[in-house]
Amino acid sequence: MVAQTACSRGAAKVDRTYAQPPLLSSDASAALGQQITALGQGFDGDIGIAVEDVQTGAVAEFDGRTFFPQQSVSKFWVALAALDAADRGRIKLDTPVVLTPSDLTLFHQPIANEIRTAGRYRTTLGALMSRALQQSDNTCNDFILRAIGGPGSVRAFIDANNIAGVRFGPGERLMQSRIAGLTWHQEYSLGDAFFRARAQVPLARRRAAFDAYVADPVDGAQPVAVVNALARLQRGELISASSTARLLGTMSHTRTGPQRLKGGLAPGWSLAHKTGTGQEIGATQTGYNDIGILTSPGGRSYAVAVMIRRTAAPIWSRMVVMQNVVRAVIAYDAALPMRPSRGVTAALKR
């Protein structure tokens, strides 16, 4: 695939950025690069797109080196760090844990009903990880994050694995309240308290906080860096074979975003993915994302990231551009000469 970079819009503060990927010259890769560029240029909003051929490491991108808000895509890094900690014997995923109302966060937290009903909820770290990934449950994710040592532990995992171009924020409570122009109070986790507090923030202050986050997201990531990490995961390079299989298997049953990347799948193709969805102010939303691993019927894999920094486009048009990225990858795959695939199963046997 040919690396296609278009008009980087307002680059964020950068500590380390993802290095130039290898290039692959072919008619199929040129066509994919052109399609990715056309999709990015045709979208009504700030969008970053990246696709990496897991087998070759070659990348096609549109604005793939800008830092885009991740929102719940960041749960992917928490899961990686937790599985790495389990691999090293620092935690056990079958450890029983108890969640109480003091563990609640905000926004999407389906587990909250179970906690409130009985006043506490018994489960395991592994079950919480599954719910965090598949349901994008913020409270489950936050509990795991604290269990492994907090944001610093995730950043340490990212740094130790030389994953450049990815930031990890301070956690949902602090980040989401700052985006809204608020200071976090735990009572915001109850009912609609956060929404009521946000509604009292003067619009000018709230807009300034929102714009500051969008311009320089504390949880920002470059799409090219995200797909490189996904490809490394698929090749078995980041965590153990069993943990890799567990993570990809869990992500293959993600319930959120069924009409984002997943909506573009052709028969026989599969997707292991993680969505992200940020706050809105007026008609404008930030952090509307989906990332994942596409696998063909023949076992060839592609890492894909579509990240929308800011848009007022209707939801359906955001889904369509994501679906069309998947269709472009499928067309690329169909145009390749027949050759042995290097899927995750082969990689994990090394």
* pLDDT of the residue at 15: 58
Please tell me the CATH superfamily of domain 27-68+222-348, with its number. Answer: DD-peptidase/beta-lactamase superfamily (3.40.710.10)
Q: Are 199 and 205 in contact (CB under 8 A)?
A: no
Per-residue pLDDT of the chain (350 residues; tens, 9 = 90+): 444 433 333 333 445 665 655 444 477 888 999 999 999 999 999 999 999 999 999 999 999 999 999 999 999 999 999 999 999 999 999 999 999 999 999 999 999 999 999 999 999 999 999 999 999 999 999 999 999 999 999 999 999 999 999 999 999 999 999 999 999 999 999 999 999 999 999 999 999 999 999 999 999 999 999 999 999 999 999 999 999 999 999 999 999 999 999 999 999 999 999 999 999 999 999 999 999 999 999 999 999 999 999 999 999 999 999 999 999 999 999 998 865 444 443 333 33
The Cβ of residue 338 has, within 10 Å, a number of other Cβ atoms equal to 6
What's the confidence (pLDDT) of residue 7? 37
- pLDDT, tens digit, 9 for 90 and up, residues 105-117: 999 999 999 999 9
Domain borders along the chain are: 27-68+222-348, 172-215
- 233-267-299 Cα angle (round to 5): 35
Four-CA torsion 133, 139, 145, 151, nearest 10 degrees: 110
SS (H, E, C) the chain: CCCCCCCCCCCCCCCCCCCCCCCCCCHHHHHHHHHHHHHHHHCCEEEEEEEEECCCCCEEEECCCCCECCHHHHHHHHHHHHHHHHHCCCCCCCCEEEECHHHCCCCCCCHHHHHHHHCCEEEEHHHHHHHHHHCCCHHHHHHHHHHCCCHHHHHHHHHHCCCCCECCCCCHHHHHHHHCCCCCCHHHHCCCHHHHHHHCCCHHHHHHHHHHHHHCCCCCECHHHHHHHHHHHHCCCCCCHHHHHHHHHHHCCCCCCCCCHHHHCCCCCEEEEEEECCCEECCEEEEEEEEEEEECCCCCEEEEEEEEEEECCCHHHHHHHHHHHHHHHHHHHHHCCCCCCCCHHHHHCC
The per-residue pLDDT for range 170-187, each reduced to its tens digit, is: 999 999 999 999 999 999
**pLDDT per residue as tens digits for the range 299-312:** 999 999 999 999 99
Q: What confidence tens digit (pLDDT) does each residue in 123-154 have?
A: 999 999 999 999 999 999 999 999 999 999 99
Distances (CA, A) of 189 to 59, 110, 112, 142, 224: 41, 12, 9, 13, 34
User: pTM to 2 decimals?
Assistant: 0.90
